[in-house]
Amino acid sequence: MKLEGKVAIVAGGGQGIGEGIVRCLAEEGANIALVDINSETAEKISDEVKSMGRKALPVVADLTDDAQLTRSVQDVVDFFGKIDILVNNVGGSSVETGLLMQEYRESLGDDTLPTFLYNSPEIWDRFYTLNLKTHVMLSHAVTPFFIKQKSGKIVNISSDAGRLPSPTQMPYGAMKAGDISITWSLARALAPYNVTVNCVCPGFVYSPLWARGATGQYNAILEAQAKGQLPERYNRFAAENIEGLTPYEFWMKYIVLPNTPMGREQTAEDMGRAVVFFVSEDAKNVTGQVLHIDGGMVMR
């Protein structure tokens, strides 16, 4: 096993991509500190790790809160005595942020404006705090331990959205581009201390985040079709009959397949195996790299 005895913090490890990363690390022998805002999923996945013969510590914390973030890292050190690996996987768009966007759109009373104008300052702040600041501050919290032990591995989970322009996901894409940028900067800064910093950019993984997004879009289109009032952003569905599809089937047909040259979705375990490579001795001289796992959507 490549990671026998290593201690890995997986932030946002309770579901979706994070869950896949936790499993892959544990399969290679790592002990896991699973930090998540959801106590139920944190306990569930931690129990699964323990059943594999590894040590696991579920840490329930809202990592957008500075005090809770600092406490969570100290809890890991107190329990395991060290940290070898940090996986920054916190991110996405919270339900609350989506509701804020909808409320702001309705307050403007105009559904025909560019999506950029529906992103209020509060929405930008929330995307920054969740998707970028958590990664920066967790890296900031673990780096003193890495410097002291003269070794460490950081992997940031970003997104293809950080490299692909999307007028409908501007705050999200901007923060994911920021994730790529901090990967490069941290890699250069920490290389003298034998600390590697790399980045994984997932393509289409049917995570709970995507499931919510696909379901919401699917229902919105059905409702608009029934009213005969399709907003401009849904014009391509004017002649499409989506009724009878499941949200997953809708997601595959209209979102994944048209944008993925290999014609298939990616999995959380795909991301987990990439993380295992980056944090193993196989990648001891690999740092500052951005790996797109997306079926060919980004080729550069």
3-state SS track over 117-150 = HHCCHHHHHHHHHHHHHHHHHHHHHHHHHHHHHC
Cα 136 to Cα 64, 73, 131, 216, 256: the distances in Å are 11, 13, 9, 31, 30
Q: Checking DSSP bridges between strand 56-60 and strand 7-11, what pairing results, if any?
A: unpaired
Residues whose CB falls within 8 Å of the CB of residue 237, separated by 6 or more in sequence, listed in order: 221, 225, 230, 254
- The pLDDT assigned to 25 comes to 99
Residues whose CB falls within 8 Å of the CB of residue 101, separated by 6 or more in sequence, listed in order: 118, 119, 120, 123
- The pLDDT assigned to 95 comes to 55
CA distance 73 to 85: 12
Residues whose CB falls within 8 Å of the CB of residue 90, separated by 6 or more in sequence, listed in order: 11, 12, 63, 130, 131, 134, 135, 138
CA distance 20 to 32: 13
**Helix (H) or strand (E) segment spanning residue 260:** none
CB of 150 closer than 8 Å to CB of 193: yes
Sites in the chain below the pLDDT cut of 50 = none
Helix axes 170-190, 134-149, angle to 10 degrees: 10
- The residue type found at 269 is E
CA distance 275 to 87: 8
Cα 262 to Cα 109, 208, 296, 297: the distances in Å are 41, 23, 6, 9
- Token representation of residue 23: 């499993």
- The pLDDT assigned to 99 comes to 67
CA distance 15 to 20: 8
Which residue ranges form the domains of the chain, and what is each CATH number? 7-92+126-205+266-293 (3.40.50.720)
- Token representation of residue 148: 């002291």
- Using CB atoms within 10 A of its CB, is residue 157 exposed (0-12), middle (13-18) or buried (19+)? buried
- The residue type found at 6 is K
- The pLDDT assigned to 34 comes to 98
CA distance 270 to 256: 16
- The pLDDT assigned to 173 comes to 92
